[in-house]
Amino acid sequence: MSTATLDTSDIDQYLGKVMDFSPLREPIAANDIRRWVHAMHYANLLHFDPDYAAESRWGGLVAPQSFPIATDDGHGAAPACVGCIPNSHLLFAGDEWWFHGPRIKAGDMIRNERIPFDYTVKETGFGPTAFQRGDNNYYNQDGDPIARQRSTSLRYNAQAGGASVSEADFADPEWPDEEMDGIEKRVFAWVQMLHDLGHKERWWDDVTVGDQLPERVFGPHSIASFATEWRAYIVNTWGSMNLRKNDLEALGFTREMAGYENDPDMMKVNPFLTDGAYYGPSRGHLFPKYARRIGMPRGYGYGASMGSWVTDFL
């Protein structure tokens, strides 16, 4: 049994209170939607081909239901990431979603209402770990509710994360050519299924227990594919949002690890330092050295991206 503890007392002051958010500076553009589905490997013509989309019930391009997280400054998970836990690390741990009907289209201005609401501490392989939750509510310019995203974060002692890394997992796996050929065929089978389905209606009641659902394959992933995903989040383009000030050190990160990711003040001085892919906590996704500090053996995928794959599959 671990003798380590977590000081979660600072979180309490934020629970149940609406947070600030970083508003978009311009309306959603068609290319924002295209960039997102490209990065998420979602080859549904409805989201990038204007001729195909014009024949749909929407009458034009619409965003997939995973897209709201691309309009937020923290991949939607910010309300699950408030309060200081000293000397800790934080990982995104997944979402629940509720959708209200309206879809996001080019020309929409999306805003957020973000509310942290609870946490609990449990013993895990990282030692004592806080499971922290919050809601992110998305609305369009007319006030129509689009979706509710309920996120969970994991927060644990920094030294516990680094101690969990196994050197045996440091090396990137190699995929033989014949195995890659098989994977590419499976990927294309999913794309072909989308094309064959076309604009036909799809209903929950069409699926019953025991049915074999279509297979959707991702990967193999690489630093290049992770970087493509990173650039699809609107906030990761310089100047795209009126950024709120985010104190990453208050979340338990050291100054070296925190850097100036999405810092609105530093953005005007040296925007290179604000790019989390290179200098902030998020660089663990791309750089093994920093991944290992939080318990990952090498670059690793974005939890929000994984959630979008599941959402769009459904």
Which token pair is 91? 């990982």
Highest mean pLDDT range out of 28-37, 195-204, 288-297?
Answer: 28-37
Window from 14-23, 76-85, 133-142, 243-252 with minimum mean pLDDT: 243-252
Q: Summarize pLDDT for 41-94 with one digit per residue, the tens.
A: 999 999 999 999 999 999 999 999 999 999 999 888 899 999 999 888 888 899
Q: What is the pLDDT of residue 25?
A: 96
Going across the sheet that includes 127-139, the strands are 88-99, 145-157, 127-139, 111-124
Bond before 220 cis per omega within 30 degrees: yes
Q: What is the reported pLDDT for 3?
A: 62
If one compares 159 and 178, the residue with the highest pLDDT of the two is 178
DSSP labels, 18-87: PBP---BSS---HHHHHHHHHHTT---GGGT-HHHHHTSTTSS----TTGGGGGSTTTT-GGGS-S--TT
| CA dist., res. 46 & res. 60, Å (int) | 8
Tens digits of per-residue pLDDT, 87-140? 888 888 999 999 999 999 999 999 999 999 999 999 998 899 999 999 999 999
Q: How far is CA 292 from the centre of its chain?
A: 20
Higher per-residue pLDDT: 207 or 158: 207
Is the pLDDT at 218 greater than 70? The verdict is yes
Six token digits for residue 82: 């408030």
Contacts of 312 (CB under 8 A, 6+ apart): 40, 42, 44, 64, 65, 66
Closest by Cα among 154, 151, 155 to 77 = 151
- For residue 267 the two structure tokens come to 């953005």
CB 21 within 8 A of CB 145: no
Worst-scoring range by mean pLDDT, 3-7, 85-89, 97-101, 221-225? 3-7
CA angle 217, 222, 227 (to 5 degrees): 105
Lowest mean pLDDT, pick from 55-59, 167-171, 210-214? 167-171
CB 280 within 8 A of CB 266: no
Q: Are 144 and 274 in contact (CB under 8 A)?
A: no
Residue 286 CA to residue 228 CA, distance in Å, equals 11
Confidence of residue 2 (pLDDT cuts 50, 70, 90): low
Mean pLDDT across the chain: 90
In degrees, rounded to 5, the angle at the alpha carbon of residue 258 between the alpha carbons of residues 252 and 262 is 120
pLDDT of residue 163: 67
Is the Cβ–Cβ distance between 243 and 265 less than 8 Å?
no
Q: Please state, in angstroms and rounded to a whole number, the distance separating the CA atoms of residues 274 and 236.
A: 9
Look at the chain and count its residues. 314
pTM over 0.85: yes
